[in-house]
Amino acid sequence: MSERRPALFLDRDGVLNVDRGYVSRIEDFEWVDGARECVATFNRRGWYVFVVTNQSGIARGLYTEADMLALHAHMETELEAAGAKIDRFYHAPWHEEGEVARYRKASIDRKPGPGMLLQAMADFNVNREQSFLIGDKETDMDAARAAGVGAFLFRGGNIATFAEWALASFEDGVRG
């Protein structure tokens, strides 16, 4: 097995892209300032970079899983052009009140549950103690804490600058 490495877990809407509410179409997608640079910087450090995103719009019937996957492919293409990559996207399309029957359920994967983070740590050789999440909602913070990783609440601005501050804080013992 490969050497254990730290992981940066990133929420999607509001952290990597501007949150316009249920972003599912490429034409509605806009990067948050510094998003591609943030991913590239952590790639160069040898960290895993994962996206962990609730996508209840799928359960609500607002868009399909295929729409979301097409958007993620677009993101990967633009990241690659910037010398960056996401190691894996994890998504939770579930919602207890969903309109689409196959997605209408409670799930530990849906944040504030830690399922997506725990799955990433099972799929990859992640050093949990050196890993943290950046999200824009308290549910993100709850999921990170439940998974045993650090948590930092992003409230806007340049995500690359924020991630550097979060890393310095984390290395100083602040768990978020």
Instruction: Note the pLDDT tens digit of each residue in 11-53.
Output: 999 999 999 999 999 999 999 999 999 999 999 999 999 999 9
At residue 86, does pLDDT exceed 80?
yes
In the chain, the percentage of residues whose pLDDT exceeds 90 is 95
Helix (H, G, I), strand (E, B) or coil at 24: coil
Strand order, beta sheet including 150-153: 88-92, 48-54, 7-10, 132-135, 150-153
Q: Which helix (H) or strand (E) holds 140?
A: helix 138-147
End-to-end CA distance of the chain: 30
**Per-residue confidence band for 153, with pLDDT thresholds at 50, 70 and 90:** very high
At residue 2, does pLDDT exceed 90?
no
The rounded mean pLDDT for the chain is 96
pLDDT at 78: 98
The whole-number average pLDDT for the span 111-128 is 98
Query: Which of 11, 87, 109, 136 is an active site residue?
Result: 11
pLDDT at 154: 98
Domains and CATH numbers, the chain: 7-171 (3.40.50.1000)
Check: CB of residue 17 under 8 Å from CB of residue 30: yes
169-to-14, 84, 121, 152 alpha-carbon distances in Å: 21, 23, 22, 10
At residue 173, does pLDDT exceed 90?
no
**Per-residue confidence band for 102, with pLDDT thresholds at 50, 70 and 90:** very high
Question: Crossing angle, helix 35-44 and helix 65-81, to 10 degrees?
Answer: 70
Closest residue by Cα to residue 57 from 108, 113, 19: 19
- Reply yes or no on whether 28 is catalytic: no
pLDDT at 1: 58
The whole-number average pLDDT for the span 74-79 is 98
Whole-prediction pTM value? 0.96
pLDDT at 32: 98
57 token code pair: 């719009």
pLDDT at 110: 97
- Reply yes or no on whether 172 is catalytic: no
Query: Which of 13, 87, 109, 136 is an active site residue?
Result: 13
